[in-house]
């Protein structure tokens, strides 16, 4: 493909472009903030520069509709809101007319499955979110899939687990003293290294994949396990366990909402259909690798 448009050049999209951007002749990105867009335009992504423009989720900036019409592939990580998907809302005419567009990848969340009491779910499970924050995600997934059916193009929905990677992981939190070892009986989370998210995006575009795919690790585990392992790797004592009933008193509503959902998410479809082989099947491999990359990367 010649032109990739990343609507929302955030953490995941930047890692994708940094590793796989050479597959494209031209890469365009958006940011909500003009200063941030200018900064990203100066960065080196494995020898590549990204053309940046501003998109704050409302009216599209002047060049954006014409850039959409030039795109062969879209990577959408801009979050939906209570009024729907901002990209479809602001750019529906340009998207409907885009002559070169063949593939869309939408980054979503496993939060669309809601609480399953620790049980297993896969992509065939009903979407039953436990909090209101996930409902716009479901609406956005459905709207993009309907767009794909109308246009006859592939739309891959990647439902991501808890994201970690360089600068955003348990090693950083332990070193900084911000790590909290919250103990809630039976609670587990799926996680995913950002490098494996980049792999999944690349596979979805290469296969022109259609449908939903869970992008999660192999080992759903209690919230305190990565923290204890990070402390072990750093050779420091782990923070003391805090009962959830105490910890929740000082949590933000968003943080507390994650503990209202408990599920184990399968990734078989990611492996079997897209052929993705996880580099980091669990937080253990991921944290070990981050540590070896040094303090500037961790």
Q: What is the pLDDT of residue 295?
A: 61
Q: Give CA–CA dist 285/19, Å, rounded.
A: 19
Q: Give CA–CA dist 49/269, Å, rounded.
A: 33
Q: What is the pLDDT of residue 46?
A: 84
Burial class (CB in 10 A: 0-12, 13-18, 19+), 46: exposed
**Residue 294 in this model has a pLDDT that exceeds 80:** no
If pLDDT is split at 50, 70 and 90, which confidence band does 58 have?
A: confident
**Residue 32 in this model has a pLDDT that exceeds 60:** yes
Residue 237 has φ and ψ, to the nearest 5°, of -65, 140
Structure tokens at 101: 């567009």
Q: What is the pLDDT of residue 1?
A: 61
Q: Is the dihedral of CA 240, 258, 157, 39 positive or negative?
A: negative
Say which residue the tokens 């980054």 belong to.
107
Q: What is the pLDDT of residue 298?
A: 56
Question: Mean pLDDT across the stretch 90-114?
Answer: 95
Please tell me the number of Cα atoms within 13 Å of 3 on its side-chain side.
16
Q: What is the pLDDT of residue 183?
A: 95
Any idea what DSSP says for residue 191? E
Q: Give CA–CA dist 271/248, Å, rounded.
A: 36
Q: Is 282 helix (H, G, I), strand (E, B) or coil?
A: coil
Question: Mean pLDDT across the stretch 85-96?
Answer: 93
Choose between 256 and 156: higher pLDDT.
Answer: 156
Torsion of CA 109, 115, 119, 120, to 10 degrees: -20
Considering the domain delimited by 3-165+191-220+263-281, tell me its CATH architecture: 3-Layer(aba) Sandwich (3.40)
Average pLDDT of the chain, as a whole number: 94
In this structure, are residues 204 and 274 in contact, taking their beta carbons and an 8 Å threshold? yes
Instruction: Look at residues 96, 79, 59 and name the one whose alpha carbon lies nearest to residue 138.
Output: 79
Question: Mean pLDDT across the stretch 271-286?
Answer: 98
**Residue 48 in this model has a pLDDT that exceeds 90:** no
Question: Mean pLDDT across the stretch 162-185?
Answer: 95
Listed range (103-117, 142-156, 237-251, 283-297) with the worst mean pLDDT: 283-297
Listed range (200-204, 252-256, 281-285) with the worst mean pLDDT: 252-256
Q: Give CA–CA dist 46/258, Å, rounded.
A: 35
Question: Mean pLDDT across the stretch 83-93?
Answer: 92
Q: Give CA–CA dist 85/143, Å, rounded.
A: 8
Start-to-end Cα distance in the chain: 32
List Cα–Cα distances, 138 to 96, 106, 152, in angstroms.
21, 11, 21
Question: Mean pLDDT across the stretch 5-24?
Answer: 96
Please tell me the number of Cα atoms within 13 Å of 36 on its side-chain side.
12
Residue 173 has φ and ψ, to the nearest 5°, of -70, -40
In this structure, are residues 182 and 223 in contact, taking their beta carbons and an 8 Å threshold? yes
Domain ranges of the chain: 3-165+191-220+263-281
The model scores a pTM over 0.85: yes
Q: What is the pLDDT of residue 206?
A: 96
C-alpha 155: how far from chain center: 16
Say which residue the tokens 């039953």 belong to.
128
Question: Mean pLDDT across the stretch 43-55?
Answer: 92
Q: What is the pLDDT of residue 228?
A: 96
Question: Mean pLDDT across the stretch 29-34?
Answer: 94
217: CB partners within 8 A, 6+ apart: 161, 190, 191, 192, 193, 196, 267, 278, 280, 281, 282, 283, 286
Choose between 129 and 210: higher pLDDT.
Answer: 210
Structure tokens at 91: 């750019």
If pLDDT is split at 50, 70 and 90, which confidence band does 138 have?
A: very high
Q: What is the pLDDT of residue 297?
A: 53
Structure tokens at 130: 């436990």
């Amino acid at each position: 493909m010649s032109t990739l448009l990343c609507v929302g050049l955030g953490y995941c999209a930047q890692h994708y472009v940094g590793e796989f951007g050479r597959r494209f002749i031209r890469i365009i990105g958006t940011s909500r903030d003009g200063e941030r867009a200018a900064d990203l335009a100066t960065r080196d992504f494995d020898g590549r520069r990204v053309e940046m423009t501003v998109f704050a989720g409302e009216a599209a900036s002047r060049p954006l509709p014409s850039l959409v019409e030039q795109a062969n592939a879209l990577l959408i990580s801009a979050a939906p809101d209570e009024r729907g998907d901002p990209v479809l809302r602001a750019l529906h005419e340009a998207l409907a007319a885009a002559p070169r567009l063949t593939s869309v990848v939408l980054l979503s969340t496993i939060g669309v499955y809601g609480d399953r009491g620790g049980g297993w779910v896969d992509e065939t499970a009903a979407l039953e979110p436990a909090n209101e924050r996930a409902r716009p995600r479901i609406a956005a997934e459905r709207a993009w899939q309907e767009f794909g059916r109308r246009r006859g193009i592939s739309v891959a929905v990647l439902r991501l687990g808890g994201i970690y990677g360089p600068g955003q992981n348990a090693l950083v939190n332990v070193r900084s003293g911000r790590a909290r070892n919250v103990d809630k009986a039976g609670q587990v989370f799926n996680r995913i290294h950002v490098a494996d998210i980049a792999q999944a995006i690349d596979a979805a575009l290469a296969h022109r994949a259609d449908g939903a795919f869970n992008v999660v690790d192999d080992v759903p585990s209690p919230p305190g396990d990565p923290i204890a392992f990070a402390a072990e790797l750093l050779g420091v004592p782990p923070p003391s366990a805090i009962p959830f009933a105490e910890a929740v008193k000082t949590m933000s509503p968003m943080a507390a909402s994650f503990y209202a959902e408990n599920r184990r998410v399968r990734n078989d479809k990611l492996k079997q259909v897209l052929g993705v082989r996880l580099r980091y099947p669990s937080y253990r491999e991921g944290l070990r690798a981050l540590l070896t990359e040094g303090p500037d990367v961790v």
